[in-house]
């Protein structure tokens, strides 16, 4: 590579690297530094606090339990849908990924409406069994893991399904030709080869569960986990302790990351795709009926939260008390959302902040992806690390870092006052979504033949023209998909928002929580439906945009 070209790479890379160092690395470094502001004082405080020790332990227990619960649902479901043909398979396949379409807080309140003490399912069971009290309480570790399993098994299901689809069917045939029976083949061939998919999805669940905030916040009861503990310390003004808790949370995440990488270290192969195995029709009539009934039950369980939120969104606030179903229905909730400016504000807030964050993601991640995939220069490794970093840091930790850094104007230390302004939330969303958009752009660019850029330059195209006519079109599928994911995540974001929001830029998620606290279930549900509708709208917009260009 010529020196001038290397200089050019650095010239493009430098602003991006500086921006990422400033917004991603600096705040987290500030948190770690803050935890040592009086030597080991805050750390001793943390170690001596039974509440914090309990929080760390509970966080880890919940994360590990969520991993196992998600595996227990996701792996069998992927096998059932990938390997067998039965009546109702298509419907089950269609709704299997539905939980992923629920913004985190909406999933939680849907569960509250269904399985909470006054929830639909709870009440039905209570009536049927003729019990005086609710048969269970949706509280504590079990409740949190229950919600996590529902929303996070989708990762496992998708990863393992993809693994099964790429699975080379002749390996299975070879094993059976060598005399291995069904069980031996599963244990020695199929499962070991699916391990990368299982481990990858398990890591995703672990990271998500560790950083999860909404479920512990709503269902925790008296339960302490690290993410909620951080917010509590911050609210109490114990910033030093919050820094320690944040550092511990981030370290736990990194430790999880390292552990999973280590468990998966021996993999040196990739699954070749030579046509998956065809699905087998279930032979036994009895098992076929059983499978169909079971899949019908699963379908209902998966769709119920969505239906319940829609139903409750038409319930008159305050009217639903001890009845199984809300007794009065009205359009009032929606009418108020659109007519009262105080209620309309969170919607415009969420949409505009999501769009700003996504726009920034697209620009920064396109440049970063281009440099990472197509340019060979010294800063490539650093850039790769920087764009992946926010993925390893739980959202609460990112938010606290921002709160600790952008809390005053001090040009000497590179601080700008953003806390308390509109801009702090778009910045948080931007940081959270960097890894998502960057990896989508990178994978698009990797599919491009690297010699295309050389070919364009060789034909006399300027650098700008090459970017515009060759690189940008190649990155487009990744930009659209990544941008959509970023916008969808940002518009329903809750975890970072709860740490950083102010009244004037409160997003939809915070308003849902406020309405829930005021027991205005109908309004909270109406917001939730609107959020789902916004997600749907953005998905359709992205799809039609992509179709028009492709």
Partner 1 sequence: MTAAPRARNEGPDEKGGSGALALNGVTRRFGVFTAVDNVSFEVGPGELLALVGASGSGKTTTLRMAAGYETPDAGTVTLGGKDITSVPPERRGFGMVFQHYALFPHMPVENNVAFGLEARGVSKTERLEKARAALANVGLEGAGSRPIQSLSGGEQQRVALARALVIEPRALLLDEPLSNLDPTLRHAMRDDLRALLRRVGVPALFVTHDQEDAFAVADRIALLKKGKLLQVGTPEELYNAPISREVAAFIGRGRIVPAIDKGNTATVTIGGVARDLNVTRPKGAPSHVETAFVVLRPDALELSRSPGVLAWRGRITNRRFAGGLIVYRVQLADGVSVDVESQSGEAREDDNVSVSPLKGPFPLVPA
Q: Footprint of partner 1 on this chain (CB under 8 A)?
A: 168, 170-171, 173-181, 184, 188-189, 192-193, 195, 267-271, 274
Report phi then psi at 270, rounded to 5: -120, 155
Instruction: Quote the DSSP letter at residue 468.
Output: I
| CA separation for the pair 362, 437 (Å, rounded) | 7
Taking the least distance from each CB to partner 1, the nearer of 282 and 364 is: 282
Least distance in angstroms from the C-beta of 164 to partner 1: 16
- DSSP classification of residue 97: T
**165 with 273: CB under 8 angstroms?**
yes
Closest separation in Å from C-beta 337 to partner 1: 54
Smallest distance, partner 1 to C-beta of residue 389, A = 31
Q: Closest approach of Cβ 279 to partner 1, in Å?
A: 15
Shortest Å, Cβ 358 to partner 1:
39
Q: Name the DSSP class of 274.
A: S
The encoded tokens of residue 426 equal 């778009």
d(CA 388, CA 437): 10
Spatial neighbors of 304 by CB under 8 A, at least 6 apart, are 114, 121
Closest CA to 25 of 427, 428, 357, 390: 390
Would you say 118 or 176 has its CB closer to partner 1?
176
Long-range Cβ pairs for the range 230-235 (8 Å, 24+): 230/396, 230/397, 230/400, 230/499, 231/396, 231/498, 231/499, 234/400, 234/403, 234/499
Taking only Cα atoms into account, the Rg of the chain, rounded to an integer number of angstroms, comes to: 25
Instruction: State how far the Cα of 415 lies from the Cα of 22, in Å rounded to an integer.
Output: 9
Q: Least separation, in Å, of the C-beta of 543 and partner 1?
A: 34
Q: How far is the CB of 277 from partner 1 (least distance, A)?
A: 11
At its nearest, how many Å lie between partner 1 and the CB of residue 267? 8
What's the closest the beta carbon of residue 177 comes to partner 1, in angstroms? 4
Q: Where are the alpha helices (DSSP H) in 278-409?
A: 285-312, 332-339, 341-374, 380-392, 395-405
Q: How far apart are CA 101 and CA 147, in angstroms?
A: 14
CB 77 within 8 A of CB 96: yes
* CA dist., res. 20 & res. 10, Å (int): 15
Q: Which residues contact 270 (CB under 8 A, 6 or more apart)?
A: none
């Amino acid at each position: 590579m010529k020196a001038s070209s290397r200089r050019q790479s650095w010239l493009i890379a430098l602003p991006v690297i500086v921006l990422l160092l400033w917004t991603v690395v600096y705040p987290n470094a500030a948190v770690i530094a803050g935890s040592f502001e009086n030597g080991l004082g805050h750390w001793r405080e943390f170690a001596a606090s039974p509440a914090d020790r309990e929080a760390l332990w509970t966080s880890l227990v919940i994360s590990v339990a969520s991993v196992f619960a998600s595996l227990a649902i996701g792996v069998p479901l992927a096998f059932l849908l990938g390997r067998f043909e039965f009546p109702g398979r298509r419907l089950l396949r269609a709704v299997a990924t539905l939980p992923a379409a629920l913004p985190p807080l909406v999933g939680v309140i849907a569960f509250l409406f269904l399985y909470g003490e006054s929830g639909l399912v709870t009440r039905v069971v209570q009536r049927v069994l003729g019990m005086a009290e609710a048969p269970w309480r949706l509280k504590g570790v079990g409740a949190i893991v229950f919600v996590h399993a529902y929303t996070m098994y989708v990762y496992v299901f998708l990863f393992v399904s993809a693994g099964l689809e790429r699975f080379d069917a002749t390996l299975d045939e070879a094993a059976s030709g060598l005399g291995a029976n069904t069980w031996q083949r599963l244990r020695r061939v199929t499962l070991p080869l699916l391990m990368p998919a299982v481990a990858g999805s398990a890591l995703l669940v672990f990271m998500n569960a560790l950083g999860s905030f909404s479920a512990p916040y709503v269902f925790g009861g008296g339960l302490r986990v690290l993410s909620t503990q951080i917010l509590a310390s911050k609210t109490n003004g114990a910033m030093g302790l919050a820094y320690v808790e944040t550092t511990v949370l981030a370290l736990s995440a990194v430790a999880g990351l390292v552990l999973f990488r280590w468990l998966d270290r021996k993999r040196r192969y990739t699954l070749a795709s030579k046509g998956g195995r065809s699905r087998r029709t279930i032979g036994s009539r009895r098992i076929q009926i059983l499978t169909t009934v079971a899949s019908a039950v699963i379908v209902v369980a998966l769709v119920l939260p969505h239906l319940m939120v829609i139903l409750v969104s038409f319930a008159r606030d305050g009217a639903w008390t001890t009845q199984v179903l809300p007794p009065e229905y009205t359009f009032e909730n929606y009418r108020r959302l659109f007519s009262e400016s105080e209620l309309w504000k969170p919607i415009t807030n969420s949409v505009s902040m999501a769009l700003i964050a996504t726009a920034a993601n697209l620009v920064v991640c396109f440049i970063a992806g281009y440099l990472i995939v197509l340019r060979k220069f010294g800063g490539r490794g650093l850039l790769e690390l920087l764009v992946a970093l926010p993925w390893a840091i739980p959202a609460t930790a990112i938010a606290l870092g921002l709160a600790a850094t952008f809390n005053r104007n001090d040009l000497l230390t590179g601080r700008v006052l953003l806390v308390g302004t509109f801009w702090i939330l778009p910045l948080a969303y931007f940081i959270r979504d960097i890894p998502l958009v960057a990896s989508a752009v990178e994978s698009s660019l990797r599919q491009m033949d690297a010699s295309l850029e050389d070919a364009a330059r060789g034909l006399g195209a300027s650098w700008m023209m090459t970017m515009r006519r060759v690189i940008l079109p190649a990155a487009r599928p990744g930009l659209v998909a990544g941008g959509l994911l970023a916008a969808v995540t940002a518009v329903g974001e809750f975890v970072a928002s709860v740490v950083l929001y102010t009244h004037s830029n409160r997003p939809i998620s915070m308003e849902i929580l406020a309405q829930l606290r005021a027991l205005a279930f109908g309004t909270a549900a109406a917001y939730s439906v609107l959020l789902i509708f916004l997600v749907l709208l953005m998905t359709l917009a992205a799809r039609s945009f992509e179709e028009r260009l492709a």
